[in-house]
Structure 1
Amino acid sequence: MENKIPLPTDSLYKFVALFSMTILIGAFYLTFYAGESSNAVVYENWSELASLQSLEKPNAEQAARKEMLERKIEIAVENRKTLVKLAAFLAGVGTLGVYVGFAFWIRKQQKVADQIAENQLELSRLQLLALRHELKSKGVEVDTL
């Protein structure tokens, strides 16, 4: 099986930028996952908790079940807050990594690569002019080539 997506192994800065972008995307996914998972726990237990809260004199088992469901919902909400804080931290790290990686890559490597390409183009033009001059001196019509 052939790898269709080449990994950026030519530049450490490019690797840092793309890996940080992956972290940033993961942080956004984590935000949605945190909300979705805590909402699932709340919606799953809400109707039973509401029916237990409506009882005037619950027995010991019903009171224990009510406390357990309330605690389960509290834990889900706390987990969501923790995951959102983690996602915010990862988003900050990812954003910083993307900025630093691409900034250093553009400043330190891409400018040099662009200059090398420009120099190579100029060298090719000069070689073409020299070849045309040599052919003209031998009497070969250059414009028809």
Structure 2
Amino acid sequence: MADEKYSFSKVPEEHYYEFYSNGPKGVIKKIVRYSLIQKYPYKIFNLGFGDWDKERQDVDDQINTNNDDRQKVLATVAETVVDFLVVYPHAVIFAEGSTASRTRLYQMNILSYWKEIKQGSYIVQGYVNGSWQPFEKGINFEAFIIRKNQ
């Protein structure tokens, strides 16, 4: 993925990544956490993402930072997906935005990396009208799953 990205640190056994957004609003800690939501027949992990809230000591996935680095942040999150699937090649990652507009943003990001996704042997499906189907342009999906093509 050719876009500029932030470097991140990770705690693999906790499925946890962190990096720092740097822009006009300052330096903001971002967290990507993969949580196991299903074990059988496939291990499915939810991709959780947001800003670290110091007061709550938790991730806030509702905040809109507007630090003028959206593409760099999204490219970094995408890089954590690639890294996670290298470490856990049989995992399935589930992603859904905390709002419809964020889900749409994820969809646009998937589309912008579509060539790299296909070359990297990934399979992406979208959820719409009560079922999963192969990802394709022009359909507004409600959620996504991505996995390595085994």
TM-score by length of 1: 0.23
Higher relative contact order (CA 8 A, sep 6+): 1
TM-score scaled by length of structure 2: 0.22
* Higher helix fraction (1 or 2): 1
